[in-house]
């Protein structure tokens, strides 16, 4: 059974930074592209960033230049470094395969406010 476990969220002030981590178990990891997604209150889940098995990255326009996605194939981990955080980044953040998603994990809450 595939498990996706996100961590690293928290409450920060605008301009702050957080590093999210996602541990993947029960799945082949290396061959897939993995992504981060987020869901703000009252909104649909949206794409944030992805990284291919070759290390190519892609970002949503709203986060490009502020967020950096990375992966550790040996540890089956995906990371999201978030800098210059804005209140509009407030959401629950999830990781999953870029396409053909597995069941979603619990996510990790990120709150950006004064």
- pLDDT tens series, the chain, 114 aa: 899 999 999 999 999 999 999 999 988 999 999 999 999 999 999 999 999 999 999 999 999 999 999 999 999 999 999 999 999 999 999 999 999 889 999 999 999 999
Of the candidates 85, 74, 72, 70, which has an alpha carbon nearest to the alpha carbon of residue 36?
Answer: 70
CA pseudo-torsion sign 39, 83, 109, 103: positive
Report pLDDT for 48.
Answer: 98
Provide the CA 56 distance to its chain's centre, in angstroms: 15
Task: Supply angle C-alpha 3, 34, 16, rounded to 5.
Answer: 95
Exposed (0-12), middle (13-18) or buried (19+): which is 69, by Cβ within 10 Å?
buried
Collapsing DSSP to helix, strand or coil, 106 comes out as coil
Instruction: Supply 52's token pair.
Output: 């291919």
Residues 6+ apart with CB under 8 A from 70: 51, 78, 79, 81
Tell me the sheet residues that pair with 7: 21
Report pLDDT for 61.
Answer: 98
């Amino acid at each position: 059974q595939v498990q996706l476990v996100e961590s690293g969220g928290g409450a920060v002030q605008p301009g702050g930074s957080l590093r999210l981590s996602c541990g993947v178990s029960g799945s082949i990891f290396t061959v897939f592209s993995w992504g981060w997604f987020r869901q703000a209150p009252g909104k649909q889940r949206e794409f944030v960033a992805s990284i291919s098995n070759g290390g190519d990255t892609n970002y949503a326009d709203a986060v490009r230049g502020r967020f950096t996605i990375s992966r550790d194939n040996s540890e089956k981990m995906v990371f999201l470094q978030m800098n210059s955080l804005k209140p509009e980044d407030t959401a629950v953040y999830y990781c999953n395969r870029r396409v053909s998603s597995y069941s979603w994990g619990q996510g990790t809450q990120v709150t950006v406010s004064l």
